[in-house]
Amino acid sequence: MTNDRGTEPERLGEYVVERRLGSGGMGVVYLARTVGGRALAVKVVRPEYARDPGFRARFRREVAAARRVSGAFTAPVVDADPEGDPPWLATLYVPGGSLTDRVDRDGPLAPGEATRVGAQLAEALRDIHRCGLVHRDLKPGNVLLAEDGVRLIDFGISRALSDSHRLTEDGAVLGSPPFMAPEQLTGGAEVTVAADVFALGAVVAYAVTGRSPFESGGDPLAVAYRVVHEEPDLDDVPDGLRELVTRCLAKDPEQRPDVAELLRMAVEADSRERAGPGGPAYWPEPVREQRSVPLPDTAPGVPARRRRRWTAAGVAAAVLAVAGVGVWLAAPWGDGGGGGQVATGEGDGRAAPFSPWEKDLRDFGVLDAATGGFSCDDAGSGLLCTSGGELSVLLHPDGEERFRHRGPRDAVLGPAGIPGEDGTVYTRSDKGLVALDADGEELWEIDAPELMGTLRTLDDTLVLQNGDSTLRFYRTDDREQAGTWEAPGRYVTATAAHGDRLLVETRDDASGGDPQLMLLDAAARPLWSLPVTPPPEAAGMLDLIGMDGEAAYFQEFDPEVPAITAVLALGLGATGEWTRTELPQPSDPRGVLGDGAVFMSSVGGQVTAVDALEGEVMWDEDTGVRTASAPTVTNGSLYLSDAEGRLYAVSARDGSVTWRGEPHPGSPGLGSDGWAPAPVVTDEGVAYVVTLGNTLYATSIDD
């Protein structure tokens, strides 16, 4: 439908178009609103390109890629119609112009602000790369400057890492030459995450100088020649930023820093800038990954018919309005290009009387736990602490380090390490996946060059994802492959495990939509005759929380709020029946399963307990815990910490606070206004707490 504005639409799908925001060579972006008044940015493909099957295929990939990325500094997708006439993609509207607009209007950014914009872009790239994608078109026009931080947009030419050798479409190189890596322009090397690092360096140089470091009078061919053959002009880049930019712009992809090191360099550059005058800064609230904590099978104070054990699963498909600057400090040990471990301790499996202890996480090379993805799991005879696939540290219960393993250079793309039986640790290696014993010695290794997703264990079976759509099942006793499950034309977005069953969520590879669920046994055989789809009453996107012996549990994200507004249970019987429970108030995406219920919590300390199978809210209470961590549920209590590192016990029966520990303030880092990962509570009555003060401490909860 059109109006007096000529060919501009009045509506796109169910959204009312207000005005044009901007346009490019291949599409137009409009400001639109939902029925409830929420502002959206809707990208519409131009008619001449919509008629081109090749371009329409690329737009389908953009939609699929944008749906897959879930990060603090990317704009979440609300809706899309890649098959429409015209095709369009709607994301949450980000007030504020692009980096190009800002520089054109006000001139170059102050060094401090440019540094922080670069750090936020690095965290956005980390989220993108963890989804197995290379953005390939990071440029100032695709960087929006919102009040709470940057947003990286436009995944129109992004590619899966496994397909990164395909550089062109219809003979044309895709990208923007001043911000393209040499390997993108020449086709002489595989395009990997290093290409995005090159673009980030060029964008930071542009932000602080107002021009491309390869500027050549506006001639794109001359610019491309300079990118490939000449050194960048960095004379106007401040000293504090020059090292960072120079390393990013290395011609050889192998010489560029990885994202983790880039974040460390950004922190160091920012520290230098803070010593002198600086510009305005963005310091938003961080978002981080949720990790699983093993729970016992029995607990008092909850319905006796269900005693649950859970494994949290999946990465949230949508992001609330929180953001952060990742400041993972690259570990100071080992070689940056490969894996290795440092064994410490006597490895004697000794059991000593418990004594409280506390560690500074900088000893592990972690500058800011809240934004670095650092968390811990109960490893039976000790504690396993990880930061993605980049770092695994196994500790004795007394805090003594048994071994430290560093993953390969690209481990940011792979799963975090997980504990196995008898102190075994499964984690990333150069080859794919390695099993280490309790002293850090290699037991065996699996060749999995496209390792991604989340590692799961089913009784005596290890499940890993190799590539977008393939799951492999290995018996841990003899390391023989027990089976393989594939989803042709789809990609895996989440998994959850319980006992000898695995639930898998997939989406359509072309559109990024059409979520489907399948239940598998430990030999990768389907237990349902047909996939199960979300119920029609679901108001938004479903994020998998976990599963037990009776059901799988989901939190429903409503992009209109945006927040979690309901909990859904999917029965694991042959029919796959759904039960939906509306929450009394919206929640942060921090649902956990344990002790016979699903518990939804907010950073402000509000906790809602849901009997999801019965469709009932058991209680909804303000615990009074401010800047609350993600919770752990065990033995009739929720355990969570606050901004000062105090540990709290909250009754799973009624939400009352039954115990409060002492503060452990530590030394708060740049992400200290976020929330900490969930504490780990063992059957021996010991709690291990990662704090916003960047410490890890152990305390007894028996007193």
Give the bridge partners for 426, in sequence order.
418, 435
Rg (CA), the chain: 25
Interacting residues of 681 by C-beta distance below 8 A, sequence separation 6+: 293, 632, 634, 635, 639, 687, 688, 701
523 DSSP 8-state letter: T
22 CB burial (10 A radius; 0-12, 13-18, 19+):
middle
Beta bridge partners of 475: 461
Q: Distance between CA 646 and CA 695 in Å, rounded? A: 12
- Residue 493 to residues 177, 525, 543: CA-CA distances in angstroms? 33, 19, 10
Neighbours of 334 (CB within 10 A): 15
> Which residues are within 8 A (CB) of 90 and not within 5 positions of it... i.e. 6 or more apart?
12, 13, 15, 32, 40, 41, 42, 43, 77, 78, 79, 80
Residue type, 436: L
508 catalytic? Reply is no
The backbone region for 690, taken as left when phi is positive above 0, alpha when psi lies in -120 to 50, beta otherwise, is beta
DSSP string, 593-635: EETTEEEEE-TTSEEEEEETTTTEEEEEEE---TTPPPPEEET
Tell me the angle at which helices 111-130 and 193-209 cross, rounded to the nearest 10 degrees: 160
Two structure tokens written together for 136: 């390939």
- Tell whether the torsion through CA atoms of 212, 214, 215 and 221 is positive or negative: negative
What is the spatial distance between Cα 428 and Cα 416, in angstroms, rounded to a whole number? 8
Neighbours of 185 (CB within 10 A): 17
How big is the CA angle at 86 (ends 32 and 38), to the nearest 5 degrees?
15
Please report which residue ranges of 417-461 form alpha helices under DSSP H.
none
The token pair at 568 is: 């859904």
- 616-622 vs 632-634, strand pairing mode: unpaired
**Active-site annotation holder among 79, 127, 137, 543:** 137
What is the chain's length? 703
185/202 Cα distance (integer angstroms) = 15
Helix (H, G, I), strand (E, B) or coil at 166: coil
For residue 589, the 8-state DSSP code is: S
Active site positions, annotated? 137
